[in-house]
């Protein structure tokens, strides 16, 4: 069994249409990525899985889709204009720029080898700015949001007034965020344009520790349910020097990526910092009235903040496997959980002639109502199975001569490569049940 290396994942993603470098025909844009036909489906499936688990499965979490562009005061209030910075140094010789906390400032420049060539560290704001309207002046300056959370805080009052939610409750949002990252290595891990899946849970002060523990447990369970190997997930607690200035407590869920353990998601106790700041900067009352006790307070917030695009890299890394089969053939397989696999079912006539193509194509059309399918009638059946393994399709249905006699088809499972005979009118139910009971077999 061969391990997933980043090179292998990048190459598979390009070859099979998961992820491409943005504007590649012009030489690419660093830290910017495009999701191809299979990549967008995988990303959407992970997003939908998260959305269902984080909204539908709780009776006290509602959704929101706030705008990317917000009033610039939002970022003053949140502290991003002042504090959302990395310390940077430039090499005076080759003009390369580095994060001061990521290189040895006493050593030679890693790019050109010159000694004593670094400038003093300067703080560099990670927010992208642009201008709104027709006049480019100070007053028209706005930012691309660096996180989705602030949209949730800014809409807190509107949601409370319109949705009959009662503390404790959560607001969930998925969307794009932008950061002018200086080091954008490791494929899509750290990009300048990415997507986040965030949920802000508003609680009564004093109950925050309890909810913080609750959400830590729930979030780890989420990844187990998504089929990620439990041994590739661990907690990392932020020490005093890592903790954001507003946070009371913070834990990251780390995943064992091909380049090592790295942050996948943060669970943070953000106290009443954000809502209090927005009260001050907006002049609006953002307190909550508990109608049972008649108490009024600014809620504390427990945040769960995951990268969607980083989840895509996790799903690919976790799923990737090269197996050497008995005949010494190497099978590349992606063990995606069927709930997130870009294609759920492949429909393959054994041969296209003798009416098998027609029967298979009719079955494929019927299955499209329930699943994402892929129809393929060309080439040897073994090769078609391999192609499906390589993109992580959990189920292949083969229509053969027996189908014409008894209406049954072969159902092949990706992980075990086991094949069973199923009647065509049972197939939807069979796939649904297999998906519900899915356990990864290696």
CB of 288 to ligand ATP, least distance (A): 25
CB of 159 to ligand ATP, least distance (A): 22
Draw the binding track, 245-264, toward ligand ATP (x: CB under 6 A; -: no contact): ------------------xx
Q: Which residues of 19-41 are buried (b: 16+ CB within 10 A; e: fewer)?
A: bebbeeeeeeeebebebbebbbb
How many residues form the binding site for ligand ATP (CB under 6 A)?
16
41 binds ligand ATP (CB under 6 A): no
Residues 301, 212: Cα–Cα separation, whole Å: 9
306 binds ligand ATP (CB under 6 A): yes
CB of 195 to ligand ATP, least distance (A): 8
Draw the binding track, 128-147, toward ligand ATP (x: CB under 6 A; -: no contact): -------------------x
266 binds ligand ATP (CB under 6 A): yes
Q: Which is nearer to ligand ATP, 200 or 309 (CB)?
A: 309
Q: Which is nearer to ligand ATP, 253 or 350 (CB)?
A: 253
305 binds ligand ATP (CB under 6 A): yes
Draw the binding track, 91-130, toward ligand ATP (x: CB under 6 A; -: no contact): ----------------------------------------
Stretch that binds ligand ATP, among 207-215, 304-312, 333-341, 398-406 (CB under 6 A): 304-312
Q: Which residue is nearest to ligand ATP (CB)?
A: 307
CB of 167 to ligand ATP, least distance (A): 24
310 binds ligand ATP (CB under 6 A): yes
151 binds ligand ATP (CB under 6 A): no
78 binds ligand ATP (CB under 6 A): no
CB of 263 to ligand ATP, least distance (A): 5
Site for ligand ATP in 337-396 (CB under 6 A): none
Sign of CA dihedral 26, 27, 33, 36: positive
Q: Which is nearer to ligand ATP, 209 or 263 (CB)?
A: 263
Q: What is the 3-state secondary structure (H, E, C) of the chain?
A: CECCCHHHHHHHHHHHCCEEECCHHHCCCCCCEEECHHHHHHHHHHHHHHHHHHHHCCCCEEECCCCCECCCHHHHHHCHHHHCEEEEEEECCCCCEEECCCCCCCCCCCCCCCCCCECCCEEEECCCEEECCCCCCHHHEEEECCCCHHHHHHCHHHHHHHHCCCCCEEEEEEEEEECCCCCCCCCCCCCCEEEEEEEEEEECCCCHHHHHHHHHHHHHHHHHHCCCCHHHEEEEECCCCCCCCCCCEEEEEEEEECCEEEEEEEEEEEECHHHHHHHHHHCCCCCEEECCCCEEECCEEEEEEEEHHHHHHHHHHHHEEEEECCCCCEEEEECCCCCCCCCCEEEEECCCCCCHHHHHHHHHHHHCCCCCEEECCCCCHHHHHHHHHHCCCCEEEEECHHHHHHCEEEEEECCCCCEEEEEHHHHHHHHHHHHHCCCCCC
Rounded to the nearest 5°, which phi and psi values hold at 60?
Answer: -125, 30
Within 8 A by CB and 6+ apart from 148, the residues are 66, 173, 174, 175, 177, 196, 198
Stretch that binds ligand ATP, among 5-13, 63-71, 303-311, 387-395 (CB under 6 A): 303-311
Draw the binding track, 175-194, toward ligand ATP (x: CB under 6 A; -: no contact): ----x-x--------xx--x
200 binds ligand ATP (CB under 6 A): no
CB of 253 to ligand ATP, least distance (A): 8
CB of 71 to ligand ATP, least distance (A): 21
148 binds ligand ATP (CB under 6 A): no
User: Quick one: which of 269, 271, 309, 344 contacts ligand ATP (CB under 6 A)?
Assistant: 309
Q: Which is nearer to ligand ATP, 93 or 232 (CB)?
A: 232
Q: Which is nearer to ligand ATP, 167 or 182 (CB)?
A: 182
In the complex, the residues that contact ligand ATP under the rule CB under 6 A are 147, 179, 181, 190-191, 194, 196, 263-266, 305-307, 309-310
């Amino acid at each position: 069994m061969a391990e997933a290396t980043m090179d292998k994942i990048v190459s598979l993603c390009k070859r099979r249409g998961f992820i491409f470098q943005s504007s590649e025909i012009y030489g690419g844009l660093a830290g910017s990525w495009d999701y191809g036909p299979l990549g967008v489906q995988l990303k959407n499936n992970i997003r939908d899985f998260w959305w269902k688990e984080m909204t539908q499965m709780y009776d006290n979490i509602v959704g929101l889709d706030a705008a990317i562009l917000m009033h610039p005061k939002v970022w003053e209030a949140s502290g991003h204009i002042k504090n959302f910075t990395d310390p940077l140094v430039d090499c005076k010789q080759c003009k390369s720029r580095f994060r001061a906390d990521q290189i040895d400032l006493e050593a030679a420049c890693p790019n050109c080898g010159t000694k004593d060539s670094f400038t003093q560290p300067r703080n560099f704001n990670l927010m992208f700015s642009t201008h709104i309207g027709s006049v480019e002046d100070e007053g028209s300056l706005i930012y691309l949001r660096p996180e989705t959370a602030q949209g949730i805080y800014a809409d807190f009052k509107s949601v409370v007034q319109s949705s009959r939610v009662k503390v404790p409750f959560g607001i969930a949002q998925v969307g794009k965020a932008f950061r002018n990252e200086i080091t954008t290595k490791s494929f899509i891990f750290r990009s300048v344009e990415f997507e986040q899946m965030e949920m802000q849970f508003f609680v009564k002060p004093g109950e925050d520790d309890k909810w913080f523990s609750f959400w830590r447990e729930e979030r780890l369970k989420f990844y187990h349910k998504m089929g990620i190997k439990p041994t590739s997930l661990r907690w990392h607690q932020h020490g005093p020097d890592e903790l954001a200035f507003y946070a009371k407590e913070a834990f990251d869920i780390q995943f064992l990526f091909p380049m090592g353990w790295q942050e996948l998601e943060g669970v943070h106790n953000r106290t009443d910092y954000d809502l209090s700041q927005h009260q001050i900067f907006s002049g609006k009352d953002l307190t909550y009235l508990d109608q049972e006790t008649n108490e009024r307070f600014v809620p504390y917030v427990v945040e769960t903040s995951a990268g969607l695009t980083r989840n895509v890299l996790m799903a690919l890394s976790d799923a990737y496997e090269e197996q050497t089969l008995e005949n010494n053939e190497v099978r590349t397989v992606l063990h995606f959980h069927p709930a997130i696999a870009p294609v759920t079912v492949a429909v393959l006539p054994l041969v296209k002639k003798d009416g098998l193509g027609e029967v298979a194509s009719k079955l494929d059309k019927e299955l499209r109502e329930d699943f994402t399918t892929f129809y393929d009638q060309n080439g040897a059946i073994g090769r078609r199975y391999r192609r499906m393994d390589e993109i992580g399709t959990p189920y292949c249905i083969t229509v053969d001569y027996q189908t014409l006699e008894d209406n049954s088809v072969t159902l092949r499972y990706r992980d075990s490569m086991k094949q069973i005979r199923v009647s065509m009118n049972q197939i939807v139910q069979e796939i649904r049940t297999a998906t519900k009971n899915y356990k990864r077999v290696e």
